[in-house]
Amino acid sequence: MIRFSWAGALAAASALLAASPALAQDAAPPGAFTVFGWYLHRASLGAGVEPDYLGSNDYRFAPSGSISFARKGDEAGPWGAPDDGFSVGLVGDRTLSAGLVGRWRSGRDDKNDLRGLDKIDGAVEAGLFADGWPADWLRLRGEVRHGVSGHDKWTADLGADAVGRTGAWTLSIGPRLTWADSDFTALYFGVSPAEAARSPFGIKPFAAGGSFWEPGVLASAEYRLNHAWSVTGVAEYRRLTGDAADSPLVSGLGSKDQLYASLHVTYAFVP
């Protein structure tokens, strides 16, 4: 699911592109917008619904967007899942590749169910990804990231996608698994005695620990309107487990079941 703001996407894009300018020596197409030698390939803008915070049972309307860059000679661009982090390939080809990845993680306020709790700032996470196609219909992807702004925790994502193309449609579905270290669990799901005392909902202090595990599944359907424009719908389900699920922020005020859905329009600058 696309869960990052344009500001977060641009921050991650700038950091990753700046780290690898040598990979884009070929000239960009005439008139293309370039950043450190890479040219803007596709831009997407849309909206969706998502939990009010990680573990919430309340939902909010949220805008979503993404951008992708390409090198000369790769105008078609590889297929990417809607929840991929912003990535720049350093080695490999379309069968097997690896490189840098960045992702924006939304923060958390102190309103509604979270009254009395400390705010959590939005974060930029950066790291490495690997992407492989063992078959022309199956893609495997893994990301390992570390917070570089907003938090300093370790996170990782694993996913597999069955991808089918028929006419103007591109359909995908596959499992997901998110992992994070115990410090991440403590940050997002722990409740200190001071926070419990300030909360008007009678929650108790909770020392969250252990690794964060969140399995799920994602499905997407893209319809290409013409050579430049396409529309994509995305639906995702996640299930919180372990101390994250046992936290009073989830068990008392929220839900283990997390749903996401979005609809966005994409424009390809170099069809």
Which of 62, 106, 66 shows the shortest CA–CA distance to 83? 66
Q: How far apart are the first and last CA of the chain?
A: 24
Asked whether residue 235 is assigned to any structural domain, the reply reads: yes
Give the structural domain span for 174: 6-268
Asked whether residue 56 is assigned to any structural domain, the reply reads: yes
Count of the separate structural domains present in the chain: 1
Asked whether residue 45 is assigned to any structural domain, the reply reads: yes
Q: Which residues of 35-50 are buried (b: 16+ CB within 10 A; e: fewer)?
A: bbbbbbbbbbebebeb
- What pLDDT is stored for residue 67 in this prediction? 74
Contacts of residue 195, Cβ cutoff 8 Å, sequence gap at least 6: 116, 117, 118, 205
- What pLDDT is stored for residue 269 in this prediction? 81
C-alpha neighbours within 13 Å on the C-beta side of residue 19: 17
- What pLDDT is stored for residue 93 in this prediction? 80
- What pLDDT is stored for residue 88 in this prediction? 80
Asked whether residue 1 is assigned to any structural domain, the reply reads: no
The answer to pTM > 0.95 is no
Q: Which residues of 214-239 are buried (b: 16+ CB within 10 A; e: fewer)?
A: bebebbbebebeeeeebebbbbbbbe
- Tokens matching residue 250: 């989830």
Q: What is the mean pLDDT of each run of 10 residues along the chain (271 residues)?
A: 41 46 46 63 90 95 79 61 85 87 91 94 95 95 96 97 96 98 97 97 95 98 94 97 97 96 90 52
Asked whether residue 112 is assigned to any structural domain, the reply reads: yes
- What pLDDT is stored for residue 7 in this prediction? 42
The CATH number that applies at residue 47 is: 2.40.160.40
- What pLDDT is stored for residue 3 in this prediction? 39
